[in-house]
Structure 1
Amino acid sequence: MISTAFTPTDLRTAVAAAIRAPSMHNTQPWRFRLVDGGIEVRIDPDRLLPASDPTHWAARLSCGAAVFNLRLALAVAGTPAEVRLRPYPHDLETVARLVPGRPRPATPAEQDLHAAIRQRHSNRAPFWPNPVPADARWRLIQAAHAEGAWLEMIIGAGPMQAVAEIARSANRVLERDRNYQAELARWVRTFPAVDGVPVEAGGLVPEPQDLLPQRAFAVRTRAPGRDFEPEPLVAILGSPGDTATDQIATGQALQRVLLTATDSRLAVSMLSQPIEVPRAREQLRLALGKSGTPQMVMRIGYGQSGWPPPRRDINEVIDLA
């Protein structure tokens, strides 16, 4: 018998996975509700970042990532969802609606990605010099393609230097913005909390000679003049367009890539500075020579295992319809 409606139990099971999605500064800008048997994902207006994310691009990306986790949890439970993005064109806060599809067993790939949800986290520490093998890179590229996005690996010293300079330039712009820096500081956690970025997960204090810019989350220092990472693997995730729907869809692609990396025992951290500054984003697009729009820059490699950041209780993010 085909189910025509998700239940409150389905909702809670799926939301437990959805809240493990990434978000800028770990703001967790999502809410969930059950309406007419469908699960709806909404942007939480109380958790937006007016200085860091004035267009709500990052919030839509994060909610898209949460949608992908919902899809995995529902598939593993035996009832895959049919997803409609932005189901109500005049409702800017509702990013997706999921309704039951035809029941079927979860595929091995869905089971593997679902198992990776609780292990996935951003790793801001330096990675080891071990190269990422070609087959692992191919899996990440295919993960992006499966969700309608593209993933460009930056290969060679020249292209890497060009991307790094764009990222550093964007970071300098953001460092001069007092409102931006004050907002960033409000989400750094030096005490136990269910959101924000704990300082122990912030990596190392940035140094001027670093190839790629790091957020000022950290308190741990290193020996003066020591390189953070001389030859990182950098990948850029992009989408065919840049509408609100494109950004939500790319959030699903981002999460598929991140979970695929976790399943491959790879570590990832995200660098959104060159995406946040419009001029830098356009320079990045031109440097890549790609059609479409860059949506996220990622640093990928092998590193010391860390721990997922804290999350709010599911009861705090579920609304009664």
Structure 2
Amino acid sequence: MNRPASRSPKAAVEAAVEAARWAPSVHNTQPWTFAVTGEEISLRADTERKLRVSDAEGRELLISCGAALFTMRTAIRRAGYEPVVRVMPDPDRPALLAVVKPGAAVEPDEGVSLLAAEIERRRTHRAGFTGLPVPERLVEALVKGAQAEGGRLTPVAAPDAVAVLAALTRAAQAVQAQDRRFSLEVIRWARPPGSKRADGVPAGAYPREPAPTEPHFAQRDYSWRHGWGSGNGDPGATSTGVVAVLTTPGDTPEDWLAAGQSLQRVLLHASAYGVSAAFHTQVLEMSHLREFLREELCSGEYPQMIMRLGITFDDKDAVRRPVEDLLG
């Protein structure tokens, strides 16, 4: 028998929008807006925040919005309601990605509470990890969680495959670093020290010169020609961590939204056990390298995210736009 919800539907909607702003997004662009009509939330893509050089198709934008969608679903469940979701509800309005509202009252289970507690705590890491191992049982649980959302999370165990992914990441980063358009787009979302902006990547969120891991996964050059960053990081944090690839069977906008929901479920679950993620999407932003990866390492599925999972004690602050800036 369902118990009464802990909040009213209106309060659940407000909590969902507040939670959604904490979702991860590429370069912390926060490329979403929300419209609330009664007890219904419309999630829209903010195409003004799309990366027009590295994400011309909007794939990373929709993955980011998918993460926000999962966050809303989790907040609504935590408030005591089953979320009712319609994805891509209007073909004539492609920017309208989903409509969400509280449905039947449900008792939030322990798993929902676990994920919800991490919404504001989760942080992206941008360097190496400590040598502490990620428990195998946790990795198995993350794989199952991604699958439940329509994605496939594959931990890459073979050293040769890890070396290939690292080499592809370094190659893609090197090519992008030589392309002024890519560099300027990245630096647009890099916040200078002391900046009051509520989006982008803060200068304190990455080391100027991270200690290299073995094999080395290249980091974004957010300090391009500026020397920004937070010192040299922890020189002892040189572990690559667990390398994993998130894939989907298709490569449509619906698949990208599913990838984002899978990603956020993985990240929140990992965060609950002290595990952070570092992202490496450079190779996925170059179509020929992404296709090579799909054919050679992903069994024909479409790679949507390359990540490293590990343990770090390097806490960072997070910046997010206020809710009033997201409502439109």
Instruction: Give me the TM-score of the superposition, normalised by structure 1.
Output: 0.91
- Deviation of 1:123 (Å): 1.2
Q: Is the 8 A contact 2:191 2:200 kept in 1?
A: yes
In terms of mean alpha carbon deviation, does 249-258 or 43-52 score higher? Answer: 43-52
Structure 2 partner of 1:146: 148
In terms of mean alpha carbon deviation, does 287-296 or 68-77 score higher? Answer: 287-296
> Taking structure 1 as reference, are residues 204 and 128 closer, same or farther at Cα in structure 2, changes over 3 Å only?
farther
> Taking structure 1 as reference, are residues 302 and 207 closer, same or farther at Cα in structure 2, changes over 3 Å only?
closer
Of 96, 99, 102 in structure 1, the residue corresponding to residue 98 of structure 2 is: 96
Q: Secondary structure at the match of 1:101?
A: strand
In terms of mean alpha carbon deviation, does 202-211 or 132-141 score higher? Answer: 202-211
Structure 2 partner of 1:122: 124
Q: Is the 8 A contact 2:128 2:211 kept in 1?
A: no
Q: Is the 8 A contact 1:154 1:160 kept in 2?
A: yes
Q: Matches of 2:111 and 2:165 in 1, distance apart?
A: 32
Q: How does 1:184-195 map to 2 (within 5 A)?
A: 184-190=186-192, 191-195=195-199
Quote the RMSD (CA, aligned, Å). Answer: 2.3
- Deviation of 1:228 (Å): 6.9
Q: How does 1:34-53 map to 2 (within 5 A)?
A: 34-35=36-37, 37-53=39-55
Structure 1 partner of 2:242: 233
Q: Matches of 2:231 and 2:265 in 1, distance apart?
A: 33
Structure 1 partner of 2:113: 111
Q: Matches of 1:95 and 1:261 in 2, distance apart?
A: 26
Structure 2 partner of 1:63: 65
**1:172-212 deviation line (CA, Å, top 9, x unaligned):** 22212211111111111122321111111023426888711
Q: Matches of 1:230 and 1:138 in 2, distance apart?
A: 20
Of 131, 134, 143 in structure 1, the residue corresponding to residue 133 of structure 2 is: 131
- Deviation of 1:53 (Å): 1.5
1:198 equivalenced with 2:206 (yes/no): no
- Given residue 144 of structure 2, which amino acid in structure 1 is its aligned partner? Q
- Deviation of 1:167 (Å): 1.4
Q: Matches of 1:39 and 1:156 in 2, distance apart?
A: 43
- Deviation of 1:231 (Å): 4.2
Q: Secondary structure at the match of 2:30?
A: coil
1:253 equivalenced with 2:262 (yes/no): yes
In terms of mean alpha carbon deviation, does 290-299 or 301-310 score higher? Answer: 301-310
Structure 2 partner of 1:313: 322
**1:21-77 deviation line (CA, Å, top 9, x unaligned):** 011111111000123642110011222221221111111001110000100111111
Mark the runs of 5 or more structure 2 residues left unpaired by the alignment: 224-228
- Given residue 246 of structure 1, which amino acid in structure 2 is its aligned partner? D
Mark the runs of 5 or more structure 1 residues left unpaired by the alignment: none
- Given residue 22 of structure 1, which amino acid in structure 2 is its aligned partner? P
Structure 2 partner of 1:159: 161
**When the two structures are aligned, how many residues end up with a matched partner?**
315
- Given residue 125 of structure 1, which amino acid in structure 2 is its aligned partner? A
- Deviation of 1:132 (Å): 1.4
